[in-house]
């Protein structure tokens, strides 16, 4: 699979790069960002995947979160894909900010006209890692995942649907129970159809209830002044209750005064990198 380099910038001794490729799963050209720490020059490093939220591209995280110094110090390759297919010319894909372009929700769509392109779950868990493993100095056995909002939802479901695939998972203000929130209902009914039993396969709160897998240490940061928390879009309490019932360890930190923005993410990003490094470098 041919990769086309779009940009490369030195940062904390490593290189922040962006590439473009033709995606088989999504049937379109896709960009992703990859940070190669200094350690990647001499050997294979763990891979940490970041999934962004609604309206984002691969650019938001790499330009706003301030993650590079911690990734450089801990020797982590950090990969940040886009949030949806682009330019597929599907009727309605650009009509709203919370569905279609920039809002793939990390599911594999089953409904027309979305099912041909909107396969972000398979892209993030299968195609992209294969591409990364084949082209960059990463150790496929040491992989973790984290994300924000819609991407926090994505990170949680990827980890819960694939026991043992990821060493650790964390999230900033994740959409924890999408089958019950307005964003989730809109996205899932469009991508997955009206049978709500199919939605549960992409809902972290439901997946946790049947999680059979290996030990998973979950870290979640949530801003207390997050408007989307107050609006009932995120529903972390439901997820925490499900984790408690299944005795799955989750550290949930409600951060006083913080909102849903990248200012919040930048404040606590180093904690999250450390959380993953503890498992990836063990």
Out of 52, 72, 144, 149, pick the active-site residue. 149
Out of 74, 260, 272, 276, pick the active-site residue. 260
Residue 1, pLDDT score: 60
| 276: annotated active-site residue | no
Out of 23, 226, 272, 275, pick the active-site residue. 226
Name residue, tokens 């409904």.
111
Q: Is the pTM of this model over 0.95?
A: yes
Q: What is the mean pLDDT of each run of 10 residues along the chain (282 residues)?
A: 93 98 98 98 98 98 98 98 96 95 98 98 98 98 98 98 96 98 98 97 97 88 98 98 94 98 98 98 91
d(CA 163, CA 267): 30
Say if CB 274 and CB 74 are below 8 A apart.
Answer: yes
| 149: annotated active-site residue | yes
**Could you count the other beta carbons within 10 Å of the beta carbon of residue 65?**
24
Say if CB 280 and CB 46 are below 8 A apart.
Answer: yes
H or E segment at 144? strand 138-148
| 260: annotated active-site residue | yes
Any idea which fold 4-281 has? Rossmann fold (3.40.50)
């Amino acid at each position: 699979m041919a990769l086309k380099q779009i940009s490369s910038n030195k940062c904390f001794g490593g290189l922040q790069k962006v590439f473009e490729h033709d995606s088989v799963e999504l049937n379109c050209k896709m960009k992703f960002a990859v940070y190669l720490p200094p350690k990647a020059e001499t050997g294979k490093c763990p891979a940490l995947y970041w999934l962004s939220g609604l309206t984002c591209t691969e650019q938001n995280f790499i330009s706003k979160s301030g993650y590079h110094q911690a990734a450089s110090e801990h020797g982590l390759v950090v990969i940040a894909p886009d949030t949806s297919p682009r330019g597929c010319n599907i009727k309605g894909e650009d009509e709203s900010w919370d569905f279609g372009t920039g809002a793939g929700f990390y599911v594999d769509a089953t409904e027309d006209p979305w099912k041909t392109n909107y396969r972000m779950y398979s892209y993030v868990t299968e195609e992209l890692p294969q591409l990364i493993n084949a082209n960059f100095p990463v150790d496929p056995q040491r992989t973790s995942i984290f994300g924000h909002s819609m991407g926090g939802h994505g990170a949680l479901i990827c980890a819960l649907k694939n026991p043992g695939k990821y060493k650790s998972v964390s999230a900033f203000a994740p959409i924890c129970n999408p089958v019950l929130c307005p964003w989730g209902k809109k996205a899932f009914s469009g991508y997955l159809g009206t049978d709500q039993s199919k939605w549960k396969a992409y809902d972290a709160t439901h997946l946790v209830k049947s999680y059979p897998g290996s030990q998973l240490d979950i870290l979640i940061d949530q801003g207390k002044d997050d408007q989307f928390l107050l609006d009932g879009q995120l529903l972390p309490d439901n997820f925490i209750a499900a984790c408690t019932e299944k005795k799955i360890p989750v550290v949930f930190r409600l951060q006083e005064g913080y909102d849903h923005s990248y200012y919040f993410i930048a404040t606590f990003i180093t904690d999250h990198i450390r959380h993953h490094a503890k498992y990836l470098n063990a």
